[in-house]
Chains A and B, each alone.
Chain A
């Protein structure tokens, strides 16, 4: 595989204005979605279309990490939203560009190998999509997989209840007079 070509295509994506993003933005016109929409109800950063897109994926990626502590995919999605508090505005904007792109079936097919939106896939189908996506030798797919899923784990396992579910007993008690 030529990493160089894939790397360049990703850099174009990050920088916006590429052919890929042009496709994405025409889609946003068709669907009425726009990167400038405000956050969804109950969220500080993710927009409603992001919540619809990603919540099923968060549920599949975190899986038992959520259910073992009685949490839902929505809890995982809200943790992801909390994590974005620390990001710079430009970092969030880049993430939103990728999510806008993934609203498009062709882009989902190119990146994940599956045309259907995550919400339209059964649990088994989502696990198959993740198996295919995570093993892809396409540079852009690898970058998107890491870029989207790595923060899900960090976001979830920094929550004290999730942290303790790993066997970590938790930090000492800081007591301020």
Chain B
């Protein structure tokens, strides 16, 4: 039996402890009780993939940058590998973020470094089909693969992205075995790691600093270059004078995420919104930013993700080992870019809290199910959303207190894709040797053969909520492109209706991607932040 519980992880240098000791300018919002005003050349709202990359590039050019982050500063010394503490401290809404009608749960980061601190390290270049669709459908300019490839290469080098060289864990090996048996293509996932211990805790904050998240790469570089970080502080509203943005009003938050009552005013001629999908549109909405076509917050996409459990005779230990190391694109563009929903196949790591939530049910049956965790493998299918008129995505709304909520109807287009993906994953698990499988559907049981599974899945009612869907990829809400009936951001990241405002994060995607989004955000951010630096230094 695999057991890492006595493995010591020690002697790891926490780069933030060292950096702060050496003079990094870090302001903890929890300690700010009096109003204050700060000034910079550029203020960046959000420290994830978009904000981190932008901060490094702009500070390298000698620009004074202030970073605003709603989440807390947590670093390797704080990463205890306790699942509950990780959800509470590192995820949006304590990992309880969900779409408005509870149809989909959403895992999204909320900490210094954003989702890059908790993602599973999969790093893919954007599919050329997706980029071509953006150009053809939304008027995105100069962002085809040959335009972006140099930026992808630059970020792959910066973040040590390369195909995983160690053998897959047993969970990922299921994908290989199943695809091999069925003649489906599969490949090794490129990961942003250096010196990875292969223990499986990417989702709880990497305890060894092997994951090349923003927390250990671009943000330390920006801090060394003189950036200021204000964490535990929510960007509440943009400061707008006429048609020009002049800064941002920031509300420091206490440990319970409640404003301390103080206001930090950050003045800057250039403001970069890098809060990601949901947060960036919400900031614009709270700010009453001009939006003549009413498009801010619209076309938000989630890669709605189905999953299927397989039970195996041999131990799988899906909680240990690099969480994602193999994938299959057999079905991602099988029906073209804009046909019925395509999906990318991967595996997901299973720790007990997440497993219990995904299994659902109640009473004795639920208990019996989770007791088989060591022998469980879990495949996922990421559905490409946003490529069809019947699938316009979700809308960001604001609660009375200004918090964002995402209203994302699970429509017939997605439900059809969910059913097909369940059939695909059931077939894959049995081809890999599974004894039983269960698709992510509240009314599904465990099926003991491919024939039984196929018949049962074809009889299930595919309705919202009972069809188990999750999301770990929030995209869109501030679509990029020249089509002003749908888009609010130009291809260089500038906001169409305010001078000085740039949006550099995943919220600019006019559809989902069809791949895990981090490298797309890194590459596009590097391109647009570099162009912005050129402009500001001209």
Give chain A's interface residues, CB within 8 Å of chain B.
Answer: 1, 3, 7, 10-11, 14, 60-65, 68, 82-91, 127, 130, 134-135, 137, 139, 142-143, 146-147, 149-151, 153-160, 162-163, 165-177
Contact = CB atoms under 8 A, between A and B. Distances in A.
Contacts of A61: 362-363, 366
B226 interface: no
Given A86-B93, A163-B351, A173-B6, A11 B101 contact: yes
A159 B81 contact: no
A137 B303 CA distance: 26
A158 B352 CA distance: 6
A172 B373 contact: no
Given A86-B93, A166-B371, A168-B319, 14 more contacts: A10-B102, A11-B407, A65-B356, A85-B94, A89-B403, A90-B405, A127-B363, A130-B362, A139-B465, A155-B84, A157-B356, A163-B83, A163-B353, A169-B5
A158 to B, nearest CB: 3
B6 A88 contact: no
B82 A160 contact: yes
B392 interface: no
Contacts of A63: 362-364, 366-367
A173 B80 CA distance: 8
Contact of A167 (B374, B401, B466): B374
Given A11-B407, A83-B96, A130-B362, A174 B207 contact: yes
Given A7-B409, A86-B93, A87-B94, A172 B8 contact: yes
A29 to B, nearest CB: 22
Given A83-B96, A174-B79, A153 B102 contact: no
A175 B352 contact: no
Contacts of B4: 169-172
A149 B361 CA distance: 8
B401 A90 contact: yes
B464 A147 contact: no
Contacts of A60: 362-363
A151 B354 CA distance: 10
Nearest to B464: A3
A7 B464 contact: yes
Interface in B306-364: 319, 351-357, 359-364
Contacts of B443: 135
B11 interface: yes
B94 A68 contact: no
Contacts of A160: 82
Nearest to A4: B409
A23 B371 CA distance: 42
B359 A68 contact: no
A76 to B, nearest CB: 12
Nearest to A61: B362
A162 B84 CA distance: 12
Contacts of A65: 356, 366-367, 370
B531 interface: no
A171 B95 contact: no
